[in-house]
Structure formats: C-alpha cells, structure tokens
C-alpha cells in the first residue's frame, strides 16, 4: 500500500475497508481490523489449494491436478471418479483414491491451524470448505464451525439402506484397497449395497448443512478466501453473500473471482460488480474493500500472523497438535503390528516420514492411475457412462437457494 509505516497505519485506522481509489490495501490493513476488534465474525472459504502443502493433489491444476493426470486413461471422462453412476458400476477406481486420501495419511498445514487459531482468538464464525480431507477436524477445529460443502470422509453411508458408518469402522477395508459393502443382513449379497463416504459426487445434492449455514454470511465482518479457483457453483457465489461493507481477503496462488471489468464499466453500477475489485475499477462510492495476497496460502497466513503478532502462537499450536497426532499414529502402528497387519503398519510409518508434498501428491495420483489401468480389462461401464455423459451435470447448480430445495443443486469437485 503506502510506502511508509505511518501511511499504512493511517489507512488501517481511518479508511479500511473503504480505501480511496488509487490506493491498494494490504495484509497490514486486514491485521489492523482484527487488532482493533473490528473483525469478530470472520468467515473462511477454503479450497483444495490449502491442502497441497500437506501432499494432497488438487483436482483442477492443468498439469499436476488429479483430473489432468486421469484424462488419458480409461475413464469415460476424468471427473468420472467422482460420478455416482460410475461409482455404482465400477467403484474400484474411487476406492483406490480413498485409500490414498483417507484421514490419517496426512497432517494439517499451517493454514488449517490458522483457522483453529482464529477460533481460539474468538473471532471465527465458520469455515466453509470444498475439501473432503477432514484436515480442519484433524487440526482440532470445533466441528460445529466446519461446513463441508462437498462432504468429507468423516462418515460413510450405505447406498441401499442408508446405514451410517464411521470412518474408523471402514478404515481397515479402505486401507486394504477393498470395495466396502454394507454388513446389514438386508443388504448382504447385494452388489448395489455399496458403502460410500459422504462425499458429494456429481449427480448428488449438496449437504443440508450447507444451505442451513448460508445465513452466516449476512453478519460476516471479514471474509477470507483461500486456495480456491472460485469456479464451482454454488460455493463460488458465497463471496457475494457478505454485506457490501464487509472487507474480503484473497490468499491464493493466482487472482480469481475478479469483476468483469468491461461489463462493470459499461453499467457503472457497483451492484453489477459482485466479484473482487482490488484496484477500484468499479469506483464504489464506499471505496476499496478487497485485498489480495498472491502466493501459497501457508505463506499468506504466516505473513498475516506476523502482522498480528500471532506467528509464535501458530507455531506452538502446530507443534502441540502434531505431537498428539504423532502419538495417535504410534499407538495405531503398535496395534496393527500386534494384529500382524504389516502393510497398514508400514503405511502409518510412512506418514511419519518427512516426504516432500510434491512426492506425496505424485504417490496419490500414481496409485489411482495404476488402479484405473488395472481395471481396463474388466471395465463394465465405460460404454454405459459414455452414453449418459450428457445427462450428468458437471458445472454445479444454476442459481442458489436460501434453504435446501427438494432437488438440491448438484456439486462438482
């Protein structure tokens, strides 16, 4: 923003949010709001980018994402691994992915711990996440604060009788790479009685909780958006739900969700420009309220914590929680060793090793790709799926709802 610390402090205290045009607010201004007690109902919107430093690949990156790596294989389309029809016909590919992504295989990142720190500072209202990895929970964040827009691995459900399974109860089968079937007498022997983690697949509606908690945005006084392309609806449209005076912070590798400049200039109306406006192109009479930091989310979070004087607390929180996680894994390893489950025990030991995130991501992708290749000779559903591609809604819901409709919007991952 301004070159001198005095000027930055003046903007923080007097004009942000609402910096005059020609200025650009920064992380120091956002920190100033929090320190001044003007941000007490913070809402976080998080995407796959916050988990890549943990070793989990995102879905949509052009070269390194899961979909890009699956594109050349025998799936009818890369996203089929999360298509409900394909899952019913050929569940092996998804379970290969589940084995690699299952809770316990990864540790939370500094960004996940930042969410918990916001809660401990009593300024966090809720975290809306697109991620299915449950790393917010593993970081110790109160589950009541987490809205998993696309579901997660936290629970699973039989597609036939709807019996709910905990993630722990099906973990042994998942770790062995097995397809999980319902154990209820009514369902035994029924190939359709698959137990599917409560992840929102293409063709399924979003969780009721998502719609129930949209009202949180009406009282938000600071919105933080991290690690997302903002390309998936209805999640992406949530940035417009906050009050017009609410400051919004984007921490991302690239700028996303910006106003359509030409259209905005034509209409010259702030109401026509609901996207981020970092440069004041909309000439809002209230001034500039949007801030961006381009870089990794972990880097952005650390810089914000530094401005707040929280960095040491963040490190202490990470160290404390990671020690608890390490102890849990040590006990899990001992139990599995006693049972003679050497493969699973070795997997737990591997998690404890220091492995580069990029290497972990490639391990996940390779495991899924290998399974897809293995299943080529026994593919039971490619033709059926290819015929049905047109009826599979891949782009999410059109429009929004205040409450869950009778036919909820479809989601993409």
Catalytic residues: 150
* Tokens 């960004």 sit on residue: 111
CA separation for the pair 73, 88 (Å, rounded): 19
Q: Is 268 annotated as a binding residue?
A: no
Q: Radius of gyration over alpha carbons of the chain, in Å? A: 22
Which token pair is 4?
């001198």
CA separation for the pair 200, 411 (Å, rounded): 7
Q: Is 130 annotated as a binding residue?
A: yes
Find the length of the chain: 413
CA separation for the pair 231, 256 (Å, rounded): 9
Sheet holding 164-166, edge to edge: 164-166, 151-158, 195-199
CB 235 within 8 A of CB 130: yes
Which token pair is 317?
């929180």
Q: Is 52 annotated as a binding residue?
A: yes
Q: Is 406 annotated as a binding residue?
A: no
Q: Is 221 annotated as a binding residue?
A: no
Q: Is 158 annotated as a binding residue?
A: yes
| Burial of 6 (C-beta count, 10 Å sphere; 0-12/13-18/19+) | exposed
Q: Is 220 annotated as a binding residue?
A: no
Q: Is 137 annotated as a binding residue?
A: no
CA separation for the pair 244, 197 (Å, rounded): 37
Q: Is 50 annotated as a binding residue?
A: yes
- Nearest alpha carbon to residue 140 among 165, 172, 114, 105: 114
Q: Is 305 annotated as a binding residue?
A: no
Which residues 6+ apart lie within 8 Å of 26 measured at CB? 1, 8, 291, 293
3-state secondary structure at position 288: strand
Q: Is 60 annotated as a binding residue?
A: yes
Q: Any idea what DSSP says for residue 380?
A: -
Q: Is 59 annotated as a binding residue?
A: yes
Q: Is 5 annotated as a binding residue?
A: no
Q: Is 161 annotated as a binding residue?
A: yes
Q: Is 228 annotated as a binding residue?
A: yes
Q: Is 411 annotated as a binding residue?
A: no
> Which residues make up each annotated binding site for NAD(+)?
48-52, 58-60, 130-133, 228-229, 252-254
Binding-site annotation, residues:
48-52, 58-60, 130-133, 158, 161, 182, 187, 228-229, 252-254
Q: Which residues are annotated as part of the binding site for Zn(2+)? A: 158, 161, 182, 187
């Amino acid at each position: 923003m301004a070159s001198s610390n005095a000027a930055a402090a003046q903007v923080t205290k007097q004009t942000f949010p609402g910096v005059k045009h020609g200025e650009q607010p920064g992380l120091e201004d956002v920190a100033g709001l929090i320190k001044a007690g003007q941000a007490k109902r913070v809402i976080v919107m998080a995407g796959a980018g916050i988990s890549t430093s943990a070793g989990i690949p995102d879905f949509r990156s052009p070269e390194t994402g899961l979909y890009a790596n699956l594109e050349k294989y025998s799936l009818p389309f890369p996203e089929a691994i999360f298509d409900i029809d394909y899952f019913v016909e050929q569940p092996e590919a998804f379970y290969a992915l589940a084995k690699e992504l299952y809770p316990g295989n990864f540790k939370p990142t500094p960004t996940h711990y930042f969410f918990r720190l916001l809660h401990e500072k009593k300024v966090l209202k809720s975290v809306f996440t697109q991620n299915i990895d449950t790393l917010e929970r593993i970081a110790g964040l109160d589950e009541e604060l987490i809205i998993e827009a696309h579901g997660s691995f936290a629970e699973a459900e039989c597609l036939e009788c709807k019996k709910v399974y905990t993630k722990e109860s099906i973990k042994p089968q998942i770790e062995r790479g097995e397809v999980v079937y319902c154990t209820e007498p009514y369902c035994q022997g029924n190939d359709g009685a698959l137990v599917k983690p409560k992840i929102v697949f293409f063709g399924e509606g979003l969780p009721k909780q998502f719609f129930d908690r949209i009202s949180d945005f009406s009282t938000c006084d600071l919105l933080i958006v991290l690690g997302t392309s903002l390309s998936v609806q209805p999640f992406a449209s949530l940035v417009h739900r906050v009050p017009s005076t609410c400051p919004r912070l984007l921490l991302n590798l690239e700028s996303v969700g910006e106003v359509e400049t030409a259209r905005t200039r034509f209409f010259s109306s702030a109401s026509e420009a609901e996207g981020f406006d970092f440069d004041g192109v909309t000439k809002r009479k209230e001034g500039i309220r949007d801030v961006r930091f381009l870089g990794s989310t972990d880097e952005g979070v650390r810089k914000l914590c530094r401005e707040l004087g929280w960095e040491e607390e963040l490190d202490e929180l990470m160290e404390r929680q990671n020690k608890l996680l390490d102890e849990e894994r040590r006990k899990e390893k001992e139990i599995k060793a006693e049972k003679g489950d050497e493969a699973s025990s070795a997997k737990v030991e591997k998690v404890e090793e220091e492995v580069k995130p990029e290497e972990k991501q490639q391990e996940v992708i390779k495991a899924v790709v290998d399974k897809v290749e293995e299943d080529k000779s026994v593919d039971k559903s490619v033709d059926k799926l290819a015929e049905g591609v047109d009826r599979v809604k891949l782009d999410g819901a059109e429009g929004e709802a205040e409450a869950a409709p009778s036919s909820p919007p479809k989601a993409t991952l």
